Structure 1
């Protein structure tokens, strides 16, 4: 009975516990962005359906930013855009790219959505409204939906237009995107998909880049330029061709990857767009304040129209945060870095509030290596003048340097908030300050950290990422001149003899702290021993001439030339003047020569003069006769980072139990 009651209790408890257990947590990072829409005779209102945002402790409230591709060559950055389809096509493929800001998850995946238009009456065709993403007077532009994040994807729009002032209808030409700049060893992007909507055809940019040297292409271009520009001379045509080739070569040589298209019949004032999906590779440099570049190229067929290049610089990020700090060229060559080296920093900020900001205070902590007195503001957004020359209540920028910080204060500005009613342009809510600064003196070869704090009006400060500047290791070749000597009594082994060493080393340039070093050098050993034997009045004949051997001297010698290699040694510089290291030495005897010489002292008979007779009794030579391994430890004093410096090194050969030492002088370059 007890067992039955116990089993009944267990069953009831199990059922109850199953009922009160919380449901399994379903991961939300894989939930795609869902597109909902309503159609009113071709005018479509889009609304997004996205996963819940997950706040990061201590960060501002998370939010999404949006990029819509409508499937007809147009787009929008609004949250709930309204778009009118004018084409006769009734089915389109729309896409939503949502970026999670201040959220600890991944971006919602993008899935194409078929948009079916039910039109009861014909739509009047009209030119689409200008996109407002081109800079004034520019024919080409690039626009990205987010900053690149390693392992994530990024959307890029390449826009081109027949701008006002060209006075040319039905314009043709070539557009191209250049990416994966050669500054980085690994590729930063894979171009996974491109979508065109205006008949653009893929073109080989490399062939176009060398067309000026192709006689056939050059002849065709001569005819073309002569037809569109009557009276043009051959010299002018050659100059045009040379400039065209030079523009492309100068750009292409800085990038490892490219994609190009040829377009035709671009009407006056018409804007077209190419959509590109980039996958940021996991190998992308992990420094989350490094700057990568992309470049758009516009080459019209008409030589009278200007060739244009549009460059963008994108900061690699660890998370999608609109407030960030970056350093242009985070990797520097220490050999050429000195007091007058100038670094360029940029602090980006975005007002994510419900109202406009009238004052933005960007405080930057300065590393002790910088001279605050050399700060120069190069660019700002919004563009404002210095408060030193502004009139009362004018929008201006005040720069307040301190001992270890500097404040850039935007006064009397109007920076809309992303959540402000009536604000649809996300770019209008963003700003930045870019400045240059120099070192006080040549810095130590250590990372340089800088961080910013941004205050909108009287709100709590927002702390950015650290912008980290690092020095490239660099290679420093060096020379080694040494003198080795034994640490024990003289023995029969040549290793216990004195020797001279000459060689070279390779290591990082001017290392601070620990580093690795490799060496190779030659050692020359020479061992000599003598034995004297007296043979009393012993007769001999040399060439029928009688002599008496008065003495005989035997001399043996060994000469060894050794190749010594230190595949790697671990070293540490304690400061500018003292260093130490440990490592392993591999020695190979390149040449081992043994000689046995006998010298006879001969006394002449019957007026024959005395003679000395040297005889080589024995000789042998071995090549690559022996290989040994030993360990060593040393200390070095002097200018240990570059040289000159003097070192003392102790060796121990565990196989032969022989120990010896050497002093050496080293100088690195």
Structure 2
């Protein structure tokens, strides 16, 4: 088909408009560097932001690697290099409240020709606690994107240099999918990657014929003497390793007193990682010093999985729980993160959380907060404090008289200073059942409009519940080739403590039942018994049958109306497990020849068969008692085919 010239121009214009609209979303970020002697000023040229409708104003957050082991979170950082050389500067920008892709950039080499003894840089604030190891991420993990974890370690406790190992553990075994893949590890202080064998050697743990050799930590002890502290350390270390699928170990040496060092670990967030945006993945860092007098230190970096970059988020720790071991007194721990994205500081922050009906607001307990404040009822007038307002279905946490800078505020270069959080716990109430529960939060900075977080959903794992069942069935009337009564013993398998609808599988074995099947009868006649003639009243032919049956319910849909009443329907398949058929003759002798009526039975032939008869059935039943977990009784009606007949069965069951 040929397009007319009149249509070509509008079509070309539309294509150009589409390309123009898409180009900024995929364009590389540009790093601009202004160099003067050994001072470098950096700027980023990024694509225009694409505002998410209804969200707070979109903005970029920045993380710069400066190529010499330094970094900055500022928008336009300045850095003074101590030595000459070429430094590769990297930019990782994150688009918040933006529906486009995260900008990508290439390393920008910057050449410094001037050397200085002292570099007048303002060090980036990194360590918030007193430990030797901490980690921070430049953004939350979004499947298909990369992220950078800054691992910082230091020597703050000893005046002598510290040697040791740093271990990074990721990809938790509790998740079937791997979450991260290490793309690059950039180090600046001669850190080197080592294997697990080298780690055990440095840690003084080298098993040899069941005994530990003397290593770096036991040089003065006999090889057969167990260093208790080191043994406990290794046990703790192995326990940590067993929780994760992947570990990387780096050797660090000669960390001077008060010296801070940083490693930059670039991780690809795998697209196949767990898609549950309520889940929280953990990356664990361990610092294992060589000095046996120093303890191993651990830092957990908890990262919520996100669908978009939103600094305000509600997280539920362990969002998938095992109902079998979850009691009413179990701690349910939530964390609400918030960030002031305004142009000025916030003095009051109110976080209102919706509490699901299954949870008891009366058990709420504040675990931790940032900024850390005392309770308002014990604070001095006008002092920074936090208070809680508890309602039936919600709890409000109110920070008062605080100073929380805004990300767009002049002079604010540390994004951590603009962030806060509350971490609280509560317990289940009396109406705890096995169903999902949803919570969310709204955040108000001063008198601004509220910002709403994601919906955090708690779920219970299905679990497996085995059970036993004992039934007694009877037929309303005589049926050919069918025993009128039978007793069955079976097992069941279903979801543990289901709330409403669930599937169940069943297997039954019926005990051997006996019945007689009449074939034919002849009146009168003569017979010969022990070479003597007898006259007969009648002679009949019949079969004696003993049969054991196996029955399988491959599909049963059940529904619990509440904790005490349930019903179900399904399909049953029945097969003969073992069947013995004896062909018999019965003769009744005339008393005129015997003196009294006599009965004589004789077996003619006997046959044994297995799985020669198959039947199907549809059934429906009702059940009362502890129908979710525990004992119950029920009544079941079964309609069989081949041949058609009905069975009524009363049964008792117990689910574990």
Q: Same fold (TM over 0.5)?
A: yes
Measure the CA separation in 2 of the matches of 1:151 and 1:19: 33
Give runs of aligned pairs for residues 418-567 of structure 1, distance below 5 A.
418-486=407-475, 490-494=478-482, 497-524=484-511, 525-530=513-518, 535=524, 538-541=527-530, 546=532, 548=534, 550=536, 552=539, 554-567=541-554
How far has the Cα of 1:68 moved from its partner? Answer: 1.2
User: Equivalent residue for 1:184?
Assistant: 175
**Structure 1 residue matching 2:238: 3-state secondary structure:** helix
Are 1:212 and 2:232 counterparts? Answer: no
User: Equivalent residue for 1:167?
Assistant: 159
**Structure 2 residue matching 1:221: 3-state secondary structure:** coil
User: Equivalent residue for 1:44?
Assistant: 40
Retained in 1: the 8 A contact 2:479–2:645?
Answer: no
1:96-149 C-alpha deviation (Å, 9 max, x unpaired): 11111111122123x332313041x43326698654312443211111111122
How far has the Cα of 1:276 moved from its partner? Answer: 1.5
Measure the CA separation in 1 of the matches of 2:571 and 2:24: 54
User: Equivalent residue for 2:138?
Assistant: 145
Relative to structure 1, is the Cα distance of residues 372 and 588 closer, same or farther in structure 2, using a 3 angstrom cutoff?
same
User: Equivalent residue for 1:154?
Assistant: 147
Q: Among 73, 79, 83, which residue is 1:77 paired with?
A: 73
How far has the Cα of 1:462 moved from its partner? Answer: 0.5
1:267-321 C-alpha deviation (Å, 9 max, x unpaired): 3333222222222233333322222211111111222233211112221222111
Structure 2 unaligned blocks of 5 or more: none
Measure the CA separation in 1 of the matches of 2:245 and 2:485: 55
Are 1:353 and 2:346 counterparts? Answer: no
User: Equivalent residue for 2:555?
Assistant: 568
Are 1:200 and 2:194 counterparts? Answer: no
Measure the CA separation in 2 of the matches of 1:591 and 1:66: 76
Give runs of aligned pairs for residues 39-438 of structure 1, distance below 5 A.
39-88=35-84, 90-109=85-104, 111-119=105-113, 121-124=114-117, 130-163=123-156, 165-169=157-161, 171-205=162-196, 208=199, 212=205, 214-215=207-208, 218-221=212-215, 225-226=218-219, 238-438=227-427
Relative to structure 1, is the Cα distance of residues 469 and 15 closer, same or farther in structure 2, using a 3 angstrom cutoff?
closer
Measure the CA separation in 1 of the matches of 2:449 and 2:109: 43
How far has the Cα of 1:450 moved from its partner? Answer: 0.9
Root mean square deviation of aligned Cα: 3.1
Measure the CA separation in 1 of the matches of 2:131 and 2:529: 108
How far has the Cα of 1:409 moved from its partner? Answer: 0.6
Measure the CA separation in 2 of the matches of 1:349 and 1:644: 48
Bigger Cα displacement from structure 2, 612-621 vs 427-436: 612-621
Retained in 2: the 8 A contact 1:333–1:472?
Answer: yes
Normalised to the residue count of structure 1, the TM-score between the two structures is 0.88
Retained in 2: the 8 A contact 1:92–1:115?
Answer: yes
Aligned length: 646
Structure 1 unaligned blocks of 5 or more: 1-6
How far has the Cα of 1:38 moved from its partner? Answer: 1.8
Normalised to the residue count of structure 2, the TM-score between the two structures is 0.90
Relative to structure 1, is the Cα distance of residues 605 and 485 closer, same or farther in structure 2, using a 3 angstrom cutoff?
closer
Relative to structure 1, is the Cα distance of residues 455 and 19 closer, same or farther in structure 2, using a 3 angstrom cutoff?
closer
Measure the CA separation in 2 of the matches of 1:30 and 1:21: 17
